[in-house]
Amino acid sequence: MSRSGYYDWKARRRQPGPRQVENLQLRARIRDEFARSRQTYGSPRLAHALGCPGRRNRIARLMRQERLFARQRSKYRPRTTDSRHGGPIAPNRVEKLAVHRPEQVWVTDATCILTGQGWLYLVAVLDVCTRRVIGWAMHQILDAGLVIAALRMALLQRGKIGVSQQILTG
């Protein structure tokens, strides 16, 4: 560092250059547009929205300095049950049952999980009294076979093999 540069810095006489002034103005515009996009725009979209598509790399650099990172949406959204329809909805009869001992009532539920292999469906069989998972199965396709596999695991875990032969084959 030169002696004059040091004393200039010490006296704080140095004014920001034109590029620094422009960067400060651009940073404010980037923050506003990024907030307006609900934090979903990356540097290409922000450059287009700000009307300066040739400055994408500069906008990307300023976004990194401001710690602004766009939220990414998942590429795939699994189908879910939609209860907002005009058709009849089955009542929940398990709520009204008085369960006092294990293995009196079993329930099942299915959900979708994002794994390293992609989206997989998980079906679990739960004991209502103990609230423990007693059987489960995962697969890429949600069908009756997946539910039967989870039920088969629950029956085998509980030693009800004779019952499982009758239920699963009939």
Same-domain check for residues 60 and 111: no
pLDDT for the residue numbered 13: 66
State the pLDDT at residue 6: 84
Predicted pLDDT at 17? 83
Closest to 120 measured CA to CA, from 136, 104, 103, 141: 141
Token digits for 153? 């695991």
Q: Is 78 part of a structural domain of the chain? A: no
Look at residue 13 and tell me if it is in a domain: yes
* Residue 112 and residue 162 share a domain: yes
Q: Does residue 70 fall inside a structural domain?
A: no
Residue 83 lies in a domain: no
**Considering 65, 87, 119, which residue would you say is the last residue of a domain?**
65
Sign of the Cα pseudo-torsion (125, 131, 133, 135, in order): negative
Residue whose structure tokens are 């506003």: 32
The answer to whether the beta carbons of residues 109 and 124 sit under 8 Å apart is: yes
Statement to judge: residues 58 and 110 lie in one domain? no
Domain boundary among 65, 98, 117: 65
In which residue ranges of the chain is pLDDT below 50?
164, 170
- Predicted pLDDT at 91: 84
Q: Each residue of 154-167: pLDDT tens digit?
A: 999 888 766 545 55
Cα–Cα distances in angstroms (integers) from residue 111 to residues 49, 95, 105, in the given order: 38, 20, 20
Segment 48-68, tens digit of pLDDT:
999 988 889 999 999 999 999
Q: What is the DSSP letter of 69?
A: -
Give the residue numbers spanning the domain of 23.
3-65
**How many domains are contained in the chain?**
2
Could you tell me if residue 85 is inside a domain? no
CA angle centred on 66, ends 20 and 75, rounded to 5°: 135
Residue 36's alpha-carbon distances to 39, 40, 60, 63, 79, in angstroms, are 7, 9, 17, 15, 29
Q: How far apart are CA 44 and CA 25, in angstroms?
A: 18
Which neighbouring-strand residues pair with 86?
Answer: none
The answer to whether 127 touches 134, Cβ cutoff 8 Å, is yes
Question: What pLDDT sits at residue 93?
Answer: 83
Q: Per the domain annotation, does 114 fall within a domain?
A: yes
Say whether both 9 and 61 belong to one domain. Answer: yes
pLDDT at position 7: 83
Asked whether residue 94 is assigned to any structural domain, the reply reads no
Domain-ending residue, one of 14, 45, 65: 65
90 falls within a domain? no
